[in-house]
Chain A
Amino acid sequence: MALDTVAIAQSTPDNSQPFAELGLKADEYARIKEILGRRPTSSELAMYSVMWSEHCSYKSSKVHLKQFGDKAPKSDALLVGIGENAGVVDVGQGYAVTFKIESHNHPSFIEPYQGAATGVGGIVRDILTMGARPIAVMDPLRFGPADAADTRRVLPGIVAGVGGYGNCLGLPNIGGEVVFDETYIGNPLVNALCVGVMKHSDIKLAKAAGAGNLVVLYGAKTGGDGIGGVSVLASETFGAGGSTKRPSVQVGDPFVEKVLIECSLEIFAEDLVVGIQDLGGAGLSCATSELASGGSGGMKVALDKVPLRDPSLSPEEILMSESQERMCAIVEPSKINRFLEICKKWDVTVTVIGEVTDGDRLEITWNGEVIVNVPPRTVAHEGPVYNRPLAQPAYIDQVNSQKVNVPMPSGAAEIKAAVLKLAGAPNLADKSWVTAQYDKYVQGNTIQAQPDDSGMVRLDETTNLGVAISTDANANWSYLNPYQGAKLALAEAARNIATAGARPLAVTNCLNFGSPEDPGVMWQFAESVRGLADGCLEMGLPVTGGNVSFYNQTGSVAILPTPVIGVLGVIQDVRTRTPMSYKEAALELYLVGETKEDLAGSEWAFLHGQRVGQSPDADLAREMRLIELLLEGNAFFSAAHDLSQGGLSAGLTEMVLRYNVGAVISLSNPAIDLLSETPGRVIVAISSEKIAQLQALATKYSIALSKLGTTGGDSLTINDCVIPLDELRTIHTSTFPRLFG
């Protein structure tokens, strides 16, 4: 392909260009011509096409996501809000924490190992870019049916990829989810969360300020992997004719990233950068335009200086390449020598590729010829915005008007069978097969990890300050009622933090949906965002950032609406945390919260093939009172465990098996008590002399309280139904090894 320069573009205004093949609509292409006053060069077209893709520009979601800002609760904790690589919150003692979830769904379907691995790599670089040391990862995952042939292809690869990359970076994996549903069969969800810590003064932003400052590219060399991956893979559904739009998935090298992290942290510690951006989706196109756009606006880059793995790459390909493990920094000339020295110490490839100018154009040259000359804001921040049509899908009224009709167990034998059925169900079974492939110990600060309610890491070894994080989504509820579903997921994540004694502080999200061009999906999305924004406002928790993943569908079948909500909380002294289970006999077990007949969207209904009825309504005022009760009770609880999927049955199973101490439970209405999934409930274990204290708390916060039973023995006994722990354990732990080897 001959070089297409600005000069040539000016002299050949009528050359036809493959904008549609690059994913641009005719009106978008027309707008680019209007902005530039000429046709774009092929390099400019490449840049606009990737940056204006759904994945990079949020063009379909922007109008809705605005609510997170408009409805934001007043919070002193928020140091950096939405729009930067990741939000930053103040956790006290001079520490700031940054956390974010991103999706890497489509690449992980095509190439499970590398897709998942580079998903972890990308989110870790986002956190690093804020100036933080990454300290932990989590991975909410969703797959097709557990026994489907393709799940056996996809799941082991994705788990190995998450582990392979995260383990090699030395980041403890402290939690996540593994959920199965048939709608994910052609569209597994790989969401990756990373959390990092820094001092307030170390926060870094993506901006290129100061004319004469140098644009420095460091990290891996640029290759041909993942070219166009972000725009095309993430923005178009798989279907007929889609094969030409499936370029290679990026290939990660965690060793290079580990070295890049340590090298960058040393550079940050010496305050050598003015601004910094990682190269993720849309590679150099994104990094240069966002840095320039975030600063004064002017930047010159000599693209031919970019070190290449493959010397045959064209300028367009270099701009679009999504080669992993690369960073772009803005460095003052007086500091460049020290910057280069540190890179040399870590054997990191580093090249000065340009400089910040006092103009307002991003100008990119190739061997001296100008191939890009654009206003960077039009590329990075002023892309198209769509207010797509939305309409409540027909299924809503249909499913909401039906009632769950499933067999309810009665008598000891049926109750035992129901408890065992849930204990072994893939969505509720023991996940050690997955989590044993992740290093949870590295860095030596992990206080809690799966199967605990939340992941918890210590930030300071002297003061024992720590943070806890939980990610949750209940797609069944979101399917029945996306507005309530988002609120319920938020409440559950916050509750999972509070059971351990950490105070919820901030929210991130990863919104996984089908095609935004389907008005029904767009309605699900809009309702979910509205629910989350309303919920965050009510609970006083700011949204610090997030990610939207659209086009998660196979043909016309969209995935269940899956807004994954992450909540981060702070605990002043990790030594005081409440564990999710108990080790002693003769403790009192109480249910905090009330059980209603909530079978719609429950695991019991799911196991009987029913996704009908009305989801529970989220009562966030009550959830907030429950959280206060848990935080106050942390001082004397022996254990506290959130009830969610699988209800009391699953909650008791998890508790008795955790430390192999049984329980004797007495229930007045065992079928509903065990199987209902009424939100806002927690099992609490206390010693008998604390009963009055617990009752006083329940009264103070107006939360229902009922006695479940006592701990001890080698069985889970529910009324006259006796389930030996060995039998329960065998069923609970054998599902994953049986399915996945």
Chain B
Amino acid sequence: MRVGVITFPGTLDDRDAARAVVAGGAEAVSLWHADADLKSVDAVILPGGFSYGDYLRCGAISRFAPVMQLVIEAAGKGMPVLGICNGFQVLCESHLLPGALTRNSDLHFLCRDQEIEIVNNTTAWTSSYKTGEKIVIPLKNGEGSFQCDDLTLAMLEGEGRVIARYVGQNPNGSRNLIAGITNERGNVVGLMPHPEHAIDELTGPSAQGLGFFTSILNAMVK
């Protein structure tokens, strides 16, 4: 099982994502933004960071990277794709997921240990969790407020496509406390907080983020 981790210029959490992939039991494969080849990976992670310095809009330039054209095509055919933080922003800009991530409501960058509830465990990336399971993983971003129009929100909620919600006080003004969503097919997931920083208690607030990286193995075995 090979999981690609894309590095754009300005990507920061690529090494962390690769470490988490290995901890989850898969092989991590580095993918470069300018690659015109997905190197036969079975799934792809778009890690966090500030790709292209967040110029113009977060993720707005990365979506045009050569490797993203391949990712968009493969996602359409059902390949599992996980976008974390900036990766979530890139997925929205690529129209693989609806909505947009805007400045946190208090306008500050926020790094803290955040409790979230997994509300959909049927996706390629959440099957290791129970529905309703609460986990604590780091949240760290300046533009993490999930926004969309009322119709889209109704659709996401109606189709059960919200995969995780913030627990307690809304940390960034996201609509309906949304921390992560999926596409219709359940193979593409965008998540604002960082499961790759919660794979052991030595370096993270918990090891509860590991489930995202073991889920993908389950998805492949099926």
Q: Tell me the complex Cα distance, A256–B55, Å.
A: 11
29 examples of A-B residue contacts, CB within 8 angstroms: A163-B109, A164-B109, A169-B12, A170-B49, A254-B53, A255-B53, A258-B9, A258-B50, A258-B53, A346-B9, A347-B9, A436-B108, A436-B109, A437-B109, A437-B111, A439-B109, A439-B140, A440-B111, A441-B16, A441-B111, A441-B194, A441-B203, A442-B12, A442-B197, A443-B15, A444-B203, A447-B202, A458-B202, A458-B203
A575 to chain B: closest residue by CB: B202
List residues 251-305 of chain A with CB under 8 A from any CB of chain B.
253-256, 258-259, 262
Task: Please measure, in the bound complex, the distance between the C-alpha atom of A190 and the C-alpha atom of B109, giving whole angstroms.
Answer: 19
Cβ B52 vs Cβ A255 within 8 A: yes
Is the beta-carbon distance between A254 and B109 smaller than 8 angstroms? no
Nearest residue (CB) in A for B12 is A170
Known: A167-B109, A255-B9. A441 touches B53 (CB 8 A): no
Question: What 1/0 mask marks residues of chain B from 1 to 22 whose CB sits below 8 Å from any chain A CB?
Answer: 0000000011011011001000
Complex Cα gap A442–B111 (Å) = 10
In the assembled complex, B93 has its CB within 8 A of some CB on chain A: no
In the complex the two chains form, is B12's CB within 8 Å of A259's CB? no
In the complex, the answer to whether B52 meets A443 with C-beta atoms within 8 Å is no
In the bound complex, how far is the Cα of B54 from the Cα of A164, in angstroms?
Answer: 12
Answer whether residue B167 sits at the interface, using C-beta atoms and an 8 A cutoff: no
- Which residues 78-123 of B have a CB within 8 angstroms of A? 108-112
How many of B's residues come within 8 Å of A, CB to CB? Answer: 28
**Given known A-B contacts A254-B50, A254-B53, A436-B110, A441 and B10 have beta carbons under 8 A apart:** no
Residues of A within 8 A of B180 (CB): none
Q: A143 within 8 Å of B by Cβ?
A: no
CB proximity of B171 to chain A, nearest CB, Å: 10
Q: B109 contacts A444, CB within 8 Å? A: no
- A168 contacts chain B at the CB level, 8 A cutoff: yes
B204 within 8 A of A: yes
Q: Is the CB of A255 within 8 A of B10?
A: yes
> B9–A259 contact, CB under 8 A?
yes
The 5 closest A-B pairs by CB, nearest first: A255-B53, A170-B12, A444-B16, A441-B197, A168-B50
Q: Which residues of B contact A440 (CB under 8 A)?
A: 111
Binary interface profile of A, 437-481, with partner B (CB < 8 Å = 1, else 0)?
A: 111111111110000000000100100000000000000000000
How close is B107's CB to chain A, nearest CB, in angstroms? 9
A441 close to B9 (CB less than 8 A) = no
CA distance A169 to B203 in the complex (A): 19
A334-376 near B? 1/0 per residue, CB < 8 Å: 0000000000001100000000000000000000000000000
- A262–B197 CA distance with the chains assembled, in angstroms: 21
- Which chain B positions have C-beta within 8 A of A447? 202-203
Task: Report which A residues bind B (CB closer than 8 A).
Answer: 160, 163-164, 167-170, 253-256, 258-259, 262, 346-347, 432, 435-447, 458, 461, 574-575
C-alpha gap A437/B142 in the complex (Å): 9
Chain B residues lying within 8 Å of A574, measured Cβ to Cβ, are 202
Which of A169, A432, A444 meets B15, CB within 8 Å?
Answer: A444
CA–CA, A440 and B10, complex, Å: 17
**Given A442-B16, A444-B196, A436 contacting B111 (CB threshold 8 A):** yes
Contacts A346-B9, A441-B203, A446-B203 known; list 9 others, CB within 8 Å: A160-B108, A167-B142, A169-B12, A255-B9, A255-B53, A436-B108, A439-B111, A441-B138, A442-B13
Quote the shortest CB–CB distance from B38 to chain A (angstroms).
19
Output the nearest chain B residue to A574 by Cβ-Cβ distance: B202
A49 to B197, CA, bound (A): 48
Distance between B80 CB and nearest chain A CB, rounded to angstroms = 22
Q: Which of B53, B108, B110, B111 contacts A168 (CB 8 A)?
A: B53
Q: Is the CB of B52 within 8 A of A445?
A: no
Q: How far is the CA of A167 from the CA of B54 in the complex (A)?
A: 12
* B16 closest partner in A (C-beta): A444
- Report the minimal beta-carbon distance from B200 to chain A, rounded to whole angstroms: 9
Minimum CB–CB distance for B32 against chain A, Å: 9
| Chain A residues within 8 Å of B16, by CB | 441-444
Q: Which residue of B lies closest to A577 (CB)?
A: B202
**Are B15 and A441 interface neighbours, CB within 8 A?**
no
Cα(A441)–Cα(B138), bound, Å: 8
Shortest Cβ distance from A466 into chain B, in angstroms? 10
Please measure, in the bound complex, the distance between the C-alpha atom of A461 and the C-alpha atom of B20, giving whole angstroms: 13
Structural contact, B112 and A436, CB atoms closer than 8 A: yes
CA distance A575 to B203 in the complex (A): 10
